[in-house]
């Protein structure tokens, strides 16, 4: 509401200003230039409006994909229990205990939320440490201390049990991580472009005031 009032007051002031400084016997060519100026402003407004609409559409599409990614992440949290192996804890070996602890650790990290980078780092650590992926080189002892898994920093990855269960869930999280990375790269610019908008609005008001004076000039000619 305030912006509309400011625009109306600004337009009135511009009208008074131009009405005062423009002589009544100004050459016709001046009004032809005013008409051209108005056409150019209108064209610029169409271009800028189109860019704004495309930006809104892009942001809407991005938000929709982000919502889907978050929903899939939440579903993975819910389905985590299906991947946890069932066995007798009293007779569990150290490798089995470490394997089970992986699921508890990833559950804790996922509780920090989709935006948290810690679950991504843990997935990469898992790929490098447990499955020896060359794509994710790790320093086992320092990473183990960082994530507190395994509890024994010197525990050998070859002795970890339930690798198949871990792999199935780690792959799901890796897919979520890749989608998250794609969304980061495709995120629309959220910086408010206030100054360009005000400049365009001012130019439009100037053009509108000149256009009104041109119409008045033609009416009383």
Q: What is the pLDDT along the chain (221 residues), one digit of tens a residue?
A: 687 888 888 888 888 888 888 888 888 899 899 999 999 999 988 998 898 888 889 999 999 999 999 999 999 988 887 778 777 667 789 999 999 999 999 999 999 999 999 999 999 999 999 999 888 888 888 888 899 999 998 899 999 999 999 999 999 999 999 999 999 988 887 777 788 888 888 898 999 999 898 888 787 76
Q: Which residues contact 159 (CB under 8 A, 6 or more apart)?
A: 94, 95, 98
Cβ pair 76, 180 in contact under 8 A:
no
Cβ pair 109, 116 in contact under 8 A:
yes
Taking the model in full, what pTM does it have?
A: 0.70
Cβ pair 131, 163 in contact under 8 A:
yes
> Angle 190-195-201 (CA atoms, 0-180°, nearest 5)?
115
Cβ pair 130, 163 in contact under 8 A:
yes
CA distance 213 to 167: 74
- What local confidence, expressed as pLDDT, does residue 221 receive? 66
> Angle 183-187-189 (CA atoms, 0-180°, nearest 5)?
175
- What local confidence, expressed as pLDDT, does residue 89 receive? 67
Structure tokens at 184: 């980061």
């Amino acid at each position: 509401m305030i912006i509309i009032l400011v625009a109306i007051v600004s337009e009135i002031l511009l009208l008074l200003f131009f009405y005062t400084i423009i002589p009544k016997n100004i050459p016709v060519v001046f009004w032809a230039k005013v008409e051209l100026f108005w056409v150019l402003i209108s064209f610029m407004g169409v271009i800028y409006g189109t860019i704004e609409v495309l930006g809104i559409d892009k942001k809407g599409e991005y938000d929709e994909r982000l919502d889907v990614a978050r929903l899939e992440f939440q579903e993975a949290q819910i389905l985590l229990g299906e991947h946890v192996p069932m066995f007798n804890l009293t007779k569990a070996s150290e490798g089995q205990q470490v394997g089970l602890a992986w699921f508890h650790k990833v559950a804790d990290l996922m509780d920090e939320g989709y935006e948290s980078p810690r679950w991504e780092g843990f997935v990469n650590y898992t790929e490098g440490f447990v499955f020896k992926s060359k794509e994710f080189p790790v320093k086992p002892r320092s990473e183990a201390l960082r994530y507190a898994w395994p509890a024994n920093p010197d525990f050998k990855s070859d002795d970890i049990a339930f690798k198949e269960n871990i792999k199935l869930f780690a792959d799901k999280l890796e897919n979520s991580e890749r989608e998250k990375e794609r969304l980061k790269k495709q995120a629309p610019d959220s910086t408010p472009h206030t100054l360009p908008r005000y400049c365009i609005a001012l130019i439009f008001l100037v053009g509108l005031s000149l256009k009104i004076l041109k119409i008045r000039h033609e009416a009383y000619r």
